Amino acid sequence: MIEHCGISRDAGGLRSGLEELAALAGRFHAEVRVPGTAEGPNPELEKALRVADFFGLAQLMLRDALAREESCGAHFREEHQSAEGEARRDDANFAHIAAWEHRGDGAEPLRHAEPLRFTTLQPSTRSYR
Amino acid sequence: MTSLSGASGSLSLNLRIWRQDNPGEPGAYRSFRLERVGADLSLLEALDQLNEQLIATGERPVHFEHDCREGICGSCGFLVNGQAHGPRAATSVCQLYLRQFADGATLTLEPWRSRAFPPIQDLVVERSALDRLIAAGGYCSVNTGQAPDGNAMLIGQEQAASAFATATCIGCGACVASCRNASASLFVAAKLAHLGQLPQGQPERRRRARAMQQQMTAEGFGSCSSNLECEAVCPKQISADWISWMHREAR
């Protein structure tokens, strides 16, 4: 995630991150071994479930970063920068909050957008130059 | 405790550990051997190593509670050779290092034993009774609004320090586990003395003292018979004198 979905990311890196993640998650689910039984508490199972959750979270972050075709603050998409290397916003297309709907294992999640309306102040690029 | 191991050497230990899958099954001691482990490891780190070995062989690792591993959170705690938190005074079991023990020593690790602390698994017991004691204490009345001025509420330095000394209780339950009556008196006394010595704790002081002591009985904790084991094992060295103070508070 640090390599492919850090502060500075691009579409190619995000796509290969998704591929690596799918391979890693597949390997985890095929090879995971949880000692202990279902009778009584099982802290090892808790740890395994936590790791499984992290795969879902990582996938969500990678997908969302890939879908957001703009640079927004510290979410810097390398394709979307000005000649000076500053983040280039796209408020015409991305002034919204995205929420992903889980549609069952194996199915593609669905992206919903909740628009943000700014009335008094309009968002703009913060420049320190 | 016999001769100390070298500070940077290694040693081998026999661990006799209470294993119990769940509260419904009987438990038993199981023996494990740790070969040539670093003397600078803490006992919990040695258990981590043992657990790595157990996981590698497909066996269920030893369950013990831990969090900060620096003696301030109160998560850890079990008996080491019959002593709560082990042979060192004023430390919790996470602050116990293998250099305390002689090469070849046998350590018996067992969970807290008390009716109010039902077993969960291995070295872990249910300590929610302590949370319910705290809840029985209720609230402290404070005025809302801005943060009060630092000097608006006067309190002597000695009194503040004394309140702080009782506030250091981390709620580990060693006092209960070491009391032959399984009394929670030192725990409750520490909580009452913490608030009871501060100006903010005064409005509900009597009500709190009565409610917490009633809850102590309701939870199945025993009474104090002044054996002072609680004070001896307390990782924060809270004085058992506060128990006498607590009894006067409830009148």
What digits encode the pLDDT tens for the residues A90-102? 999 999 999 999 9
CA distance B251 to A63: 65
Answer yes or no: do B237 and B143 share one domain.
yes
Nearest CB neighbour to B55, from listed A35, A39, A40: A35
Nearest residue to B71 (alpha-carbon basis) of B151, B169, B189, B156: B169
Same-domain check for residues B172 and B89: no
User: Could you give the 3-state DSSP secondary structure of residue B192?
Assistant: helix
Length of chain B: 251
Q: What is the CATH number of the domain that holds B236?
A: 1.10.1060.10
Check: CB of residue B64 under 8 Å from CB of residue B122.
yes
Name the residue with tokens 């001896």: B232
User: Is B54 within 8 Å of B60 (Cβ atoms)?
Assistant: yes
B173 belongs to a structural domain: yes
pLDDT(A123) > 90: no
CA separation for the pair B17, B79 (Å, rounded): 10
In terms of domains, do B26 and B99 share one? yes
Whether A23 maps to a domain, the answer reads yes
Q: Quick one: pLDDT at residue B4?
A: 53
Provide the terminal-to-terminal Cα distance of chain B, rounded to the nearest Å: 44
Residue A27 has pLDDT above 80, yes or no: yes
Please check whether residue A105 lies inside any domain of the structure: no
CATH no. for residue B93?
A: 3.10.20.30
| Cα B66 from chain centre | 11
pLDDT at B50 (0 to 100):
97
- Specify the pLDDT at position B17: 98
Same-domain check for residues B96 and B178: no
Range of the domain at B66: 10-110
Q: In degrees, to the nearest 5, what angle opens at C-alpha B102 toward C-alphas B99 and B108?
A: 95
Q: Say if residue B51 is in the same domain as residue B82.
A: yes
Asked if the structure places residue B20 within a domain, the reply is: yes
Residue A103 belongs to a domain: no
**CB-CB: which of A40, A43, A44 is closest to B21?**
A40
Query: Which tokens sit at B180?
Result: 């032959």
With respect to residue A76, please indicate whether it lies within any of the assigned structural domains: yes
Question: Does A48 fall in a domain?
Answer: yes
- Residues B191, B98, single domain; the answer is no
Point out the domain boundary residue: B110, B144, B164.
Answer: B110
Which is it for strands B10-19 and B106-110: parallel, antiparallel or unpaired?
A: parallel
Query: Does A60 fall in a domain?
Result: yes
Indicate the number of domains in chain B: 2
In a domain? residue B122: no
Measure the CA–CA gap between B231 and B196, rounded to whole angstroms: 20
Q: Is residue B5 part of a domain?
A: no
Q: How confident is the model at residue A37 (pLDDT cuts 50, 70, 90)?
A: confident
Question: B229 lies in a domain?
Answer: yes
Q: Is residue B21 part of a domain?
A: yes
pLDDT single digits (tens) B20-67: 999 999 999 999 999 999 999 999 999 999 999 999 999 999 999 999
B121 CA: distance to closest CA in chain A (Å): 7
Q: Cβ B60–A44 below 8 Å, yes or no?
A: yes
Residue B8: predicted pLDDT: 62
Q: Does ipTM top 0.85?
A: no
Q: Do both B86 and B28 map to the same domain?
A: yes
Same domain, B133 and B244: yes
Q: Which of B52, B60, B67, B126 to mutate to test the interface with A (most CBs of A within 10 A)?
A: B60
CB contact under 8 A, B21 and A37: yes
Instruction: Tell me if A110 sits within 8 A of A100, measured CB to CB.
Output: yes
Query: Could you tell me if B193 and B236 lie in one domain?
Result: yes
Q: Does B123 fall in a domain?
A: no
d(CA B135, CA B210): 13
CA nearest A37 in B: which residue?
Answer: B60
Q: Do B21 and A43 touch (CB under 8 A)?
A: no
- Mutation to test the A interface, candidates B20, B121, B122, B123, most A Cβ within 10 Å: B121
Q: Which of B25, B61, B120 sits opposite A35 (nearest CB)?
A: B61
Nearest to B59 among A35, A40, A41 (CB): A35
pLDDT of residue A59: 95
Quick check: A78 contacting B, CB < 8 Å?
Answer: no
| Same-domain pairing of B17 and B101 | yes
Is residue A112 assigned to a domain? no
- Its domain, for residue A68, covers 8-37+44-89
Are residues B239 and B152 both part of a single domain?
yes
For the stretch B169-184, pLDDT in tens is 999 999 999 999 999 9
Contact B58 A37 (CB under 8 A): no
Q: Give pLDDT < 70 ranges for chain B.
A: 1-8
B161 in any annotated domain = yes
- A98 assigned to some structural domain: no
Between CA B104 and CA A10 the distance in angstroms is 58
Tally of domains within chain A: 1
B149/B211 same-domain check: yes
Q: The CATH number of the domain where A55 resides is what?
A: 1.20.58.100
Tokens in use for A9?
């990311």
Q: Which residue has the tokens 């039902």?
A: B118
